Amino acid sequence: MSWIYSTLCADPAARQLGFQWLSDRLYHTSHSVIPQHPLGGQGGDAMQLTVHTNADENPVTIVAMEFHFQFHTVFASFANVVSAILAFSNQGGFVVSDVIPCQVVEAVSDTLQYVYGANRRSGVTMRRVTNLFHNHDRTRAVQTYAKVADDECFPLQHGEIRTHGFGWFDLDRSCNSGHWIVRSHTDCSGRTVAERVAGSITKVRGSVLHYAPITNEGVVSLECMGSLFGINHHQFSRREDLIAQVRTQAQAMYEDAYQGWIRALRQHLDHQVG
């Protein structure tokens, strides 16, 4: 998916076309990826993290982290769940390695937006294009998000660390009872998909892929990656041991961050139903 590295132009017309083009590419990609969701056979809450390395190269380092998650049924209408996820996604985002507040910098429409966030603890920044798609009978919704690496309007600053990648949420509507099953998976680009199952149960799946963050000098080192997760690399003589510790720490931090996000979403939906 080399196109995810495309540069966003400063020209206003070309820029808006770039927002839409990135979103469309992710949306069409999801049609083949979502049916193969790694948590597809599980029920209830589930999360899975995979750390990708350049195992065949020397020195070995982390090149990406892939995160998938799903959460169990909640009571809410399909429209309310879609609206809530859209709002929550534009108000916050996962930036190594916390869910942080975000702000909409540019809004092409109610759904196609450009969002910015900065993690004050780790110093990592994020610039993300989000969009929402529905199928023809509005029983399925997909929210896509592309985390931008290169933007002419916002070039990397000296000392800045920027996360990039992509992802999506997949919402699948079912059952008229108002139940929702929410599942999510993670890979390098982002989006969310929703579709009808039966009655009013809506199954939500999502995936996010985080590439190794970058600076204006290139991809961050393994040692820097460790520090972003609170690890002192001087404690490890072997890079493989440092990678294993990053994997353990990232698993715990991702799960904690996403569980908090899911709790907040559930509480929001419960309040609407109540």
Q: What is the pLDDT of residue 181?
A: 45
Q: Please, which contacts does 6-15 make with residues 24 or more away whose CB atoms are closer than 8 Å?
A: 6/150, 7/150, 7/151, 7/152, 8/129, 8/148, 8/150, 8/151, 8/152, 8/153, 9/152, 10/152, 10/153, 15/106, 15/153
| Structural domains in the chain (count) | 1
Give the domain range for residue 229. 2-273
Q: What is the pLDDT of residue 178?
A: 44
| pLDDT tens digits, one per residue of 11-51 | 999 999 999 999 999 999 887 766 667 776 666 788 899 99
Query: What per-residue confidence (pLDDT) applies to 176?
Result: 43
pLDDT of residue 18: 97
pLDDT at 200: 58
Give the count of alpha carbons within 13 A of 125, CB side only.
Answer: 20
Question: Which pLDDT score is estimated for 32?
Answer: 74
Specify the CATH number for the domain of residue 237.
3.30.530.20
CB 124 within 8 A of CB 116: no
* Three-state DSSP class for residue 238: coil
pLDDT in tens, the chain (274 residues): 677 888 999 999 999 999 999 999 999 988 776 666 777 666 678 889 999 999 889 999 999 999 988 876 557 788 888 999 998 988 888 888 788 999 999 999 999 999 999 999 889 999 999 999 998 888 889 999 999 999 999 999 999 999 999 999 988 875 444 444 444 444 445 555 554 444 456 777 888 999 999 999 999 999 999 999 999 999 999 999 999 999 999 999 999 988 888 888 888 888 876 5
Query: What is the pTM assigned to this prediction?
Result: 0.85
Burial class (CB in 10 A: 0-12, 13-18, 19+), 123: middle
For residues 120 and 125, what is the distance between their CA atoms, to the nearest angstrom?
9
Q: How far apart, in whole angstroms, are the C-alpha atoms of residue 42 and residue 26? A: 25
- HSE of 167, CA atoms in CB hemisphere, 13 A: 27
Check: CB of residue 105 under 8 Å from CB of residue 93: no
Q: Name which of 56, 51, 61, 57 is nearest 239 in CA terms.
A: 61
